Homo-oligomer: A and B are copies of this chain.
């Protein structure tokens, strides 16, 4: 009898198969007993009919407790009412290993229990629940979609270093690491500077890896360890990478809608909201976004914003409410953006940058810019910011030897997955979230 995974069961209709998994749930209805078996790739309803299986197998039902490891064998049947469209008519059941204790996570709506800390203490088991399982499968789909997207466009993967001597944007939120005779190095917050070197060597590159931020923030948008994808393209302008960002976000959304329908249903995600994510995205300037905020303030909304400041998450939410899809905000004031962004030739008080704000209050998912490509201008900015010139000499070299316009952006994986899956906190969209308070398990 062939052993198959639940995810593939549609290919085995009317055939006998073996499934290895765990007891997720069970219920009895007179002569018929139902098991829900999960094997990590899906959930399957298994039907035991008295008289159709040996009595000693039928009676095993009473022994079964949550998360027992079991092997079930039987015939695959199309069944419209069963979740997934198939069920297994049981012929044989083997209990491979019993749970040694009562499963500590409630089977029904674990997310609703009052003690959220308990869920995170048992994260290694909580991920077996339907909702967490669904979120992690959406994360996988998003991550693979991203890599497929860049592969199809001829981007080369380029892994920037994690240990870095200098910082892109100040050292206050960096994690220092003692490093041999070097003293201290820092965990990367962005691979961008290295990716710029990569773009000059390989044309179109992207990174996909963890980045770190030592922020004692308690908002539901922050983790100390999070994953980013960062494309960087030689000869590309701000416009070019805005198009790229738009295509990427639409592509990811389509892939999730196409391949993770069941998971979105389990999560009660309003898919209409995702189906609205089509090109073109609205494109507004910082000034226009600021005007929206001032309008809303005049209407009496509690908005703490002064022109010239960066938008906080509350402001991002107010702006995003006006649109049914992600909104791109460009041309922020130079004073609030990093030194490497290229000023707008038409208004040098602004820079050629873009932030993409997700709908429904999920905040900034992308930040990008055209990079300063003039050697003298970049050097001036490094000095102006009081940055260590020595540490940036290699970065300046990229403008010394055949400088070209180039642009790139970073997309935050957790915020993107949180938005697409409708999760309430980024802590739930990564297998083992790291926050200032939690590094276990």
Which single residue of chain B is at the shortest CB-CB distance from A176? B178
A67 lies within 8 A of B165 (CB): no
A242 to B219, CA, bound (A): 44
A139 to B179, CA, bound (A): 27
A163 to B68, CA, bound (A): 31
B163 lies within 8 A of A434 (CB): yes
For A182, what are the chain B residues with a Cβ–Cβ distance below 8 Å? 439
Against B, the Cβ 8 Å flags (1 = close, 0 = not) of A21-43 are 01100000000000000011100
A402 to B102, CA, bound (A): 11
Asked if A127 meets B201 with Cβ closer than 8 Å, knowing A69-B403, A210-B162, the reply is yes
B128 lies within 8 A of A157 (CB): no
For A197, what are the chain B residues with a Cβ–Cβ distance below 8 Å? 124-125, 127, 431, 441
Ranked 3 nearest A-B pairs via Cβ: A40-B203, A394-B441, A69-B402
A124 to B195, CA, bound (A): 10
Q: Which of A143-151, A285-293, A334-342, A358-366 contacts B (4 or more CB under 8 A)?
A: A143-151
A177 to B163, CA, bound (A): 12
Asked if A202 meets B136 with Cβ closer than 8 Å, knowing A180-B436, A434-B161, A434-B163, the reply is yes
Asked if A431 meets B40 with Cβ closer than 8 Å, knowing A180-B216, A402-B67, the reply is no
Distance in Å: Cβ of A191 to nearest Cβ of chain B: 9
Q: Does A12 contact B (CB under 8 A)?
A: no
Q: How many copies does the complex hold?
A: 2
A161 lies within 8 A of B431 (CB): yes
Which single residue of chain B is at the shortest CB-CB distance from A391? B440
A23 to B404, CA, bound (A): 13
Distance in Å: Cβ of A97 to nearest Cβ of chain B: 5
Q: Does A225 contact B (CB under 8 A)?
A: yes
Asked if A402 meets B204 with Cβ closer than 8 Å, knowing A177-B175, A394-B441, A439-B182, the reply is no
For A178, what are the chain B residues with a Cβ–Cβ distance below 8 Å? 175-176
29 A-B contact pairs sorted by A residue (CB < 8 Å): A8-B154, A40-B202, A40-B234, A99-B400, A100-B375, A100-B400, A100-B401, A124-B197, A127-B197, A127-B198, A132-B201, A137-B202, A140-B157, A144-B157, A159-B431, A161-B431, A161-B432, A162-B212, A162-B225, A163-B434, A176-B177, A179-B224, A179-B439, A180-B216, A180-B436, A182-B439, A208-B208, A209-B210, A391-B440
B439 lies within 8 A of A154 (CB): no
Asked if A394 meets B440 with Cβ closer than 8 Å, knowing A147-B147, A204-B41, A432-B160, the reply is yes
